[in-house]
Structure 1
Amino acid sequence: MMLYGQGLFPMKLEDTAWFVVKVAAVLVLWRSAGVRADCPAACSCEAGTVSCENKGLTVVPPLPPDTSTLQLQGNRITGLKELTSQQLPNLEAIDLSGNNLTALTGREFAAFSSLTRLVLSGNKISDLPRDGFAGPTSLLYLYLDGNLLTSMGDDRFFTLQSLALLHLQNNRISAVSDYAVAGLTNLKDLALSNNTLSEVSRVGFRSLVGLKRLLLDGNRLQSFAEGTFASMQNLEYLDLADNSFSSVEGSQFSGLSQLQEIRLDRNGLADLRSDVFRSLQVHLLGSTSLRGSLGK
């Protein structure tokens, strides 16, 4: 039997069947190789992970609806409108590090109810939303290091009640307001290294009852008031290296019953009395000399 289409050449029925089989085989091989019809042209897609790093992108491309991990680092993206308009119910992790983002509205990620990890490192963000991040409440890890932030105003993170890690190192932060990290009772890791902090509010850290690791090295701190760390009964590691301390007193560390390690090297401390930390039983890291010996 002969079939005649609109082309110039007739095709037998058996030839048509064979053609269909070959097309189906190609599609199977294409899918098994990780190529999807809804995968952005510049990206690769596999098992829910969409990888678009270092592709010169200026906007976020349309994404498969089952995307769970989005890797967009090392591009030239300046805005996130194209991302926020997409329905991505399974999205758990976004890496936008090394792009050209300059500002956030706070609502860019609100619709992604499954988001737990957000990496915004190495952009040009100079301020955080005044009304805080409008969700997602599921967020656990937030990386804002290597931006151009100059301060931490009140309530910037108050909606992120589940947050366990907040990295803000290598910015230009000179002040932390009294309520900058208010409500972050589940925070375990806070990094403020290599900023320009000259003081820390006595009440600025009072919500951080679950904190285990605090990095304040590489700032301009000269002293801090008694009670600054009073609520941090779970703190295990404190880095105060490379600041401008000329003296410290044991009472300044009152309440740190779980503290195990502290760094005070590269300060203006000529020596340090051993009784400062005797009651805390901590291990002093770095090269600061001691008069006497530590209790541990």
Structure 2
Amino acid sequence: MKYACAKDRSLFSAKNLQPIIRDIYTVTQTSVREQHGLLRRSSVLPQFRTPICWQNTESERERARHGHGLNFHRAGKPLAFFNSQSLQVVLSRYKKVYQLSSSFVKMKLILLLCCWLTMALASPFEQRGFWDFAFDLDGAMMNDEEGSGFTTVAPTEGPFLPGPTCPFGCQCHLRVVQCSDLGLSAVPKSIPPDTLLLDLQNNKITEIKEGDFKSLHKLYALVLVNNRISKVHPKAFQPLVKLHKLYFSKNLLTEIPRNLPPSLVELRIHENKIKKIPKEIFKGLKSMNCIEMGGNPLENSGFEPGAFDGLKINYLRISEARLTGVPKDLPFSLNELHLDHNEIQAIELEDLRRYKELTRLGLAYNKIRFIENGSLNFLPNLRELHLDNNKLPRVPAGLPDMKYLQVVYLHNNNITKVEANDFCPVGFGVKRAYYHGISLFSNPVNYWDVLPSTFRCVTDRHSVHFGNYKK
């Protein structure tokens, strides 16, 4: 028996035969079969792996011409029988579907053409988007910007203006411009004006010029650590009206830059070559809270009278300098003062008189041999006292009268004797906070010579660190 298969295009094309047969089966199994009882096999149509054919004999063609239907076969086995009416129903339906799919294909081609034209005419990639990052735990930076960092710009009339571009070699990610470790000799141009953090550390920048930060009115933090900066223009920071953090450490500055932004909160300028702090250098910095200027060759004579006038900072570190005594006229508002790694030899009565707000005092790694009686009485709120790695021969006087003192570091000194009342007051109710840290190790004193009552105001015995003394 002869068969006409899909590839002969006798009725349908090879491409469209299988979906048409599936459609025929769907229709006949739902409505046509119920009306006409046309199907000879009612099984669900499988995936076709062999051609679907119909009998190409004279009798079959005659039956089709007279409207008696058409037999479909697969692999020589009868598959389905349809008369002219059912074929007409199915074919008319498929015709509509095919026309619709053809129109859809044309629409897809048009859309692809439009996309191709858009890509062909597009400008180079430009970084867009915003990111509210927070440096501070108190969310200060989040408060600088109203609402979320994702801002919606209202449409305006006029030509399209391209967004900000990223400086060559830098990485720009949502208002953070990362230009570190690039060997730059100058501040790059074309920095996006909405930048919040500009990181220029680990480069070879030698000078900060007047227009280096123009248009950066929203800049929050500027990192210039580990460059070769020796000169800063007096008007370089004038555009930075919202700058809170300025990191200038590890450069070649010989003086603190003038005209710092009034909005500045934190200044880190340690490990430079600054030898002098002139008068009124910090004038107008009412928001300043933290200054780190350690690692500079500063001597006591380098602080001009009135150098810190007007400042109400909480934190000051002048460690690793050349100080031989506590500097005069430091801000009276200090909560933390760190003078470690200097050459201080004594603490005199007047040195700490104005610092009644101090809660932490760092005097470790000096050459202190003497602390005048009554010097510590001017620090009623002190919580931590660091006097380790000095040359003290005894426990400083006045510790029992410090109601809130909780941590005392006295290790690595020359203390030879510890008295029963060196740490705790005699009466009850005087001490408001018990000690939870006393270090006395590496001193020439035997712990078995110390009376147990010496540490009666300590939380527990593990809070006292004695250890053995080794010459």
Using the size of structure 1 for normalisation, the TM-score is 0.81
Q: How does 1:37-76 map onto structure 2 within 5 Å?
A: 37=165, 46=176, 47-60=195-208, 62-63=212-213, 64-76=216-228
- Please state how far the C-alpha of 1:247 moved relative to its aligned partner: 2.1
Structure 1: where are the runs of 5+ without partners? 1-13
Aligned to 2:451: 292
Supply the RMSD in Å over aligned alpha carbons: 2.9
Shift in CA distance, 135/285, structure 1 to aligned 2, threshold 3 Å: farther
CA-CA distance at 1:196 after TM superposition: 0.3
- Asked whether the 8 Å contact 1:53–1:73 carries over to 2, the reply is yes
Distance between the aligned counterparts of 1:89 and 1:78, measured in 2?
Answer: 23
| Matched position secondary structure for 2:347 | coil
The equivalent position to 2:125 in structure 1, one of 26, 35, 40, is 26
Identity across the alignment (%): 21
The residue type paired with residue 135 of structure 1 is G
Q: 1:264 is aligned with what amino acid?
A: L
Which of 243, 247, 255 lines up with 1:95 in the alignment?
247
**Partner AA of 1:227 in structure 2:** G
The superposition leaves residues 231-254 of structure 1 with CA deviations (integer Å, 9 ceiling, x where unpaired) of: 211110001111111123533x36
SS class of match (1:229): helix
Partner Cα distance (2:289, 2:168) in 1: 28
Asked if 1:157 corresponds to 2:308, the answer is: yes
Answer yes or no: is the 8 Å Cα contact 1:131–1:155 preserved in 2: yes
Q: Is the 8 A contact 2:371 2:396 kept in 1?
A: no
8 A Cα contact 1:100 1:123, kept in partner: yes
Post-superposition offset of 1:22: 1.2
**Residue 118 in 1 paired to residue 267 in 2?**
yes
Larger radius of gyration: 2
Is 1:233 paired with 2:384?
Answer: no
Structure with greater proportional helix content = 2
How many residues are aligned here?
Answer: 271
Q: Partner residue of 1:4?
A: none
Render the CA deviation track for 1:255-291: whole Å, top value 9, x for unaligned: 4211001111111112312311112553412414451
Cα deviations by residue, 1:27-51 (Å, 9 ceiling, x for unpaired): 3xx2349994486976855150011
CA distance in structure 1 between the aligned counterparts of 2:419 and 2:363, rounded to whole angstroms: 22
What corresponds to 2:290 in structure 1?
141
2:375 aligned counterpart, secondary structure: coil
Distance 1:132 1:65, change over 3 A: closer
Deviations 1:132-178 (A, max 9, x none): 522311110100011111116443322212x011011111111234x
Q: Residue type of the partner of 2:390? A: N
Q: Cα distance, 1:21 vs. partner?
A: 6.0
Deviation at 1:59, TM superposition (A): 1.6
